[in-house]
């Protein structure tokens, strides 16, 4: 049974922050041509990275900043796609990498949140967790690639598919709100 | 199985929120690529919620040994099993103040389906007593690590921590001895080793007792008289009405350590040792001998603690056989409670050979900060001096065990304070 190590939590949390920061920086380098959009993206990414670092670094934080940071980097990705049409094809092709990196960052971030309660970690469990996270990240990239392929198929658009999408997104929002309320009641 | 009730769904809510935001952005901006980014999160959430179930976890706490001495290290083994796979289970061991760990008292494990796992936490025994190790707080995440469940595993283990007694070089000598063989020099004459006197031979004396040198010098037979070695009854009286305490140490801790030393020393000298715990809770142990009695005495004092009580107690509540007539009573007291002092005066009035080891509570008193506190401390000292004087006037030997002193000089002082009462029976 290994002794509890602060370095493990800092290492995992730092890796999550570095992944988010790296992805955001890569997207900004590719980034939108217009200066205001670039400044907006840089500011948002900086805020996300700092917020995430603070959230994971603080002992009592529940990791609430993690989904926000991931969402902001995704927004940066959207800015790249919108602001630099000449790069759009390449940026779209990079979606599996972005999805894999963000999923990996999220998994590492949640792991760092779990590690904030110092405990004697079993080395075997650590190895299994690392293997699981690595496999999940690869699977996430593969799933994103599959989604891209499916999205590339010629399917007729229109009001009905858009309405289904809006309904699905609204349902998810309602689910998130309900779960958040239940979490506040039960913990 | 431990029922796990409290739940934390922060991760579920966060992931759902993220997926929803990405999907809304994809719709609003017309970017299907964002759906691809959101897809892994949505699939992980869906699988996690589909597989989510409250884990059933059974936890058992065992110690590598049930008895230890202050300062020893003991390993607590936590065994956990669950019929379902558990992403992560955290076991937090509840510990009393008297037991510490190196690092956190928490272990994190991962369980496969129907699996078992074990963790070991090393404990350090800081203070004597019957210490309760446990219960265990369980936090278990479900199979995908989305929802954390909380609960308490019933049970635990009891660790009996014995005081580490200081070694004593000398012990108190009782005024009266019993008829059984021991290591105490009796006042009576009989078969023994220590020389006592010479007297003229009388019919019935054993020939082997004739002192031939004196006989040759005097021209008439003389015999050598000797003191036999006998044992004695020693009653250890622990006054637990009050305790002066500073941090983790108090007068009761010191008194218990000293009592253990005295019990071990007297039992090693083949004396019969009994115990009276006189306080809010009354305890007694009738006199006995041997190593078994030492364990009984130590076990009896382990549960001793200061229990607040306003009931007036005197010696009449004790069984008569607890105080054999020829017993020497050694009292360990901070001299803080009038009931304890009254009982000691009562013992002296009944003719018991009584010696008091006063565990000085002043060492645990905070330093005075101003003139009023200085005056209060001075008054307190004067009151305590008056109490000691009252006890000495009653013929009781009182030795003050002051700060950071070994117990030996106190016992030596008590031994020297005994009045010379050597009267050899005719």
pLDDT at A139 > cutoff 90: yes
A1 and B107 within 8 Å at the Cβ level: the answer is yes
E-only strand ranges, B143-219: 148-153, 157-162, 181-185, 194-200
Residue of A nearest to B151 (CA): A187
B107 and A122 within 8 Å at the Cβ level: the answer is yes
pLDDT of residue B97: 87
pLDDT of residue B309: 66
Q: How far is A171 from chain B (nearest CA, A)?
A: 8
Q: How far is B142 from chain A (nearest CA, A)?
A: 13
pLDDT of residue A2: 47
Upstream peptide bond of A3 is cis (omega within 30 degrees of 0): no
pLDDT of residue A61: 61
**Contacts B40 to A, Cβ<8 Å:** 99-100, 103, 139-141, 143-144
**What pLDDT digit, counting tens, does each position of A69-97 carry?**
888 888 888 888 887 666 667 777 888 99
CA distances from B186 to B79, B231, B238 (A): 58, 8, 27
- Residue of B407, B413, B248, B232 lying closest to B332 (CA atoms): B407
Q: How far is B241 from chain A (nearest CA, A)?
A: 41
For residue B296, how many C-alpha atoms fall within 13 Å in the half-sphere facing its CB? 18
Q: Averaged over A48-56, what is the pLDDT?
A: 78
| B114 confidence band (pLDDT: 50, 70, 90) | confident
pLDDT of residue A1: 46
**What pLDDT digit, counting tens, does each position of B230-280 carry?**
889 999 999 988 888 887 788 988 899 899 999 999 999 899 999 999 888
Where is mean pLDDT largest: B298-302, B312-316, B384-388? B384-388
DSSP annotation string for B107-153: EEEEE-TT-EEEEEEEEEE-S-EEEEE--EEEEEE-TTS--EEEEEE
Q: In the numeric block, which tokens belong to residue B31?
A: 């970017």
Pairs of residues, one from chain A and one from chain B, whose beta carbons lie less than 8 Å apart: 173
| B307 confidence band (pLDDT: 50, 70, 90) | low
- Please state, for a pLDDT cut of 70, what percent of chain A lies above it: 79
How far is Cα A51 from Cα A60, in angstroms, rounded to an integer?
Answer: 14
Q: In the numeric block, which tokens belong to residue B254?
A: 């010191």
Residue in B15, B22, B28 to test binding to A, most A beta-carbons within 10 Å = B22
Residue of B nearest to A61 (CA): B10
pLDDT at B425 > cutoff 80: no
Say whether B231 sits in a helix, a strand or coil.
coil
pLDDT at B128 > cutoff 60: yes
**Contacts A63 to B, Cβ<8 Å:** 10-11, 14
**What pLDDT digit, counting tens, does each position of B174-188 carry?**
888 888 888 888 888
pLDDT at B129 > cutoff 50: yes
Residue of A nearest to B28 (CA): A166
pLDDT of residue A4: 45
**CB contact at 8 A, A42 and A34:** no
pTM over 0.95: no
A119 vs B73, higher pLDDT: B73
**CB contact at 8 A, B13 and B49:** no
pLDDT of residue B354: 93
Strand partners, B139: B90, B150
How far is Cα B236 from Cα B284, in angstroms, rounded to an integer?
Answer: 10
Say whether B280 sits in a helix, a strand or coil.
coil
**CB contact at 8 A, B174 and B234:** yes
A144 and B40 within 8 Å at the Cβ level: the answer is yes
The CATH class, in words, for B58-162 is mainly beta
Average pLDDT over chain B reads 87
B20 and A71 within 8 Å at the Cβ level: the answer is no
Residue of B nearest to A80 (CA): B31
- Residue of B55, B50, B9 lying closest to B151 (CA atoms): B55
B36 and A114 within 8 Å at the Cβ level: the answer is no
Lowest-confidence region among A18-27, A129-138, A176-185, B203-212 = A176-185
pLDDT of residue A158: 74
Q: In the numeric block, which tokens belong to residue A74?
A: 């995704």
How far is Cα B37 from Cα B44, in angstroms, rounded to an integer?
Answer: 12
Strand partners, B133: B157
How far is Cα B268 from Cα B264, in angstroms, rounded to an integer?
Answer: 6
How far is Cα B343 from Cα B341, in angstroms, rounded to an integer?
Answer: 5
Domain regions of chain B by residue span = 8-51, 58-162, 189-227, 233-416
**Contacts B32 to A, Cβ<8 Å:** 148, 151
- Residue of B411, B352, B262 lying closest to B274 (CA atoms): B262
Q: In the numeric block, which tokens belong to residue B267?
A: 């039992």
B26, B90, B119 ranked by CB distance to A1: nearest = B119
Q: How far is B67 from chain A (nearest CA, A)?
A: 24
The CATH class, in words, for B233-416 is alpha beta
Q: Averaged over B56-74, what is the pLDDT?
A: 90
């Amino acid at each position: 049974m290994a002794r509890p190590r602060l370095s493990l939590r800092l290492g995992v949390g730092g890796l999550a922050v570095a992944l988010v920061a790296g992805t955001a920086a890569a997207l900004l380098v590719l980034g939108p041509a217009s200066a205001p959009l670039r400044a907006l993206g840089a500011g948002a990414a900086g805020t996300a990275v700092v917020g995430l670092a603070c959230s994971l670094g603080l002992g009592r934080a529940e990791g609430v900043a993690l989904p926000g940071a991931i969402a902001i980097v995704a927004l940066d990705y959207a800015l790249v796609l919108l602001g630099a049409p000449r790069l759009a094809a390449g940026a779209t092709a990079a979606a599996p990498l972005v999805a894999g990196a963000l999923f990996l960052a999220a998994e590492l971030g949640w792991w760092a949140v779990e590690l904030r309660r110092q405990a004697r970690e079993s080395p075997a469990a650590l190895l299994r967790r690392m293997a699981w996270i690595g496999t999940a990240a690869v699977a996430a990239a593969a799933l994103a690639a599959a989604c891209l392929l499916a999205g590339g198929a010629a399917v007729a658009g229109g009001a009905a598919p858009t309405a289904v999408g809006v309904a699905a997104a609204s349902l998810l929002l309602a689910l998130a709100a309900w779960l958040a309320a239940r979490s506040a009641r039960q913990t | 199985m431990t029922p796990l009730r409290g739940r934390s769904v922060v991760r579920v809510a966060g992931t759902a929120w993220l997926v929803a935001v990405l999907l809304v952005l994809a719709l609003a901006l017309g970017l299907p690529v964002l759906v691809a980014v959101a897809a892994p999160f949505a699939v992980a959430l869906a699988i996690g919620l589909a597989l989510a179930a409250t884990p059933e976890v059974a936890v058992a706490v065992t110690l590598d040994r049930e008895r230890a001495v202050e300062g020893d290290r003991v390993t607590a083994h936590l065994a956990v099993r669950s019929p379902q796979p558990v992403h992560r289970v955290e076991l937090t061991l509840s510990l009393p103040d008297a037991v510490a760990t190196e690092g956190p008292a928490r272990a994190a494990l991962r369980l496969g389906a129907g699996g078992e796992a074990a963790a070991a936490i090393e404990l350090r025994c800081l203070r004597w007593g019957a210490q309760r190790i446990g219960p265990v707080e369980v936090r278990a995440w479900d199979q995908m690590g989305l929802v954390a469940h909380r609960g308490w595993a019933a049970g635990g283990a009891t660790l009996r921590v014995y005081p580490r007694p200081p070694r004593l070089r000398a012990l108190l000598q009782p005024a009266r001895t019993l008829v059984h063989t021991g290591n105490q020099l009796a006042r009576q004459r009989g078969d023994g080793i220590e020389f006592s006197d010479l007297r003229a031979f009388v019919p019935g004396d054993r020939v082997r007792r004739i002192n031939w040198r004196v006989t040759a010098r005097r021209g008439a037979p003389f015999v050598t008289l000797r003191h036999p070695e006998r044992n004695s009854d020693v009653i250890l009286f622990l006054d637990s009405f009050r305790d002066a305490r500073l941090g983790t140490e108090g007068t009761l801790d010191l008194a218990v350590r000293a009592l253990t030393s005295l019990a071990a020393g007297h039992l090693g000298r083949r004396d019969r040792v009994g115990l009276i715990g006189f306080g809010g809770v009354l305890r007694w142990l009738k006199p006995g001998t041997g190593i078994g009695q030492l364990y009984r005495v130590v076990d009896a004092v382990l549960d001793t603690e200061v229990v607040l009580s306003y009931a007036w107690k005197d010696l009449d509540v004790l069984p008569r056989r607890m105080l054999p007539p020829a017993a020497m009573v050694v009292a360990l007291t901070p001299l803080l409670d009038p009931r304890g002092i009254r009982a000691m005066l009562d013992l002296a009035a009944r003719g018991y050979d009584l010696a008091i080891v006063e565990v000085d509570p002043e060492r645990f008193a905070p330093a005075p900060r101003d003139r009023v506190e200085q005056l209060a401390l001075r008054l307190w000292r004067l009151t305590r001096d008056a109490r000691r004087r009252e006890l000495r006037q009653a013929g009781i030997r009182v030795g003050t065990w002051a700060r950071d002193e070994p117990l030996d000089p106190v016992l030596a002082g008590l031994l020297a304070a005994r009045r010379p009462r050597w009267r050899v029976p005719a």
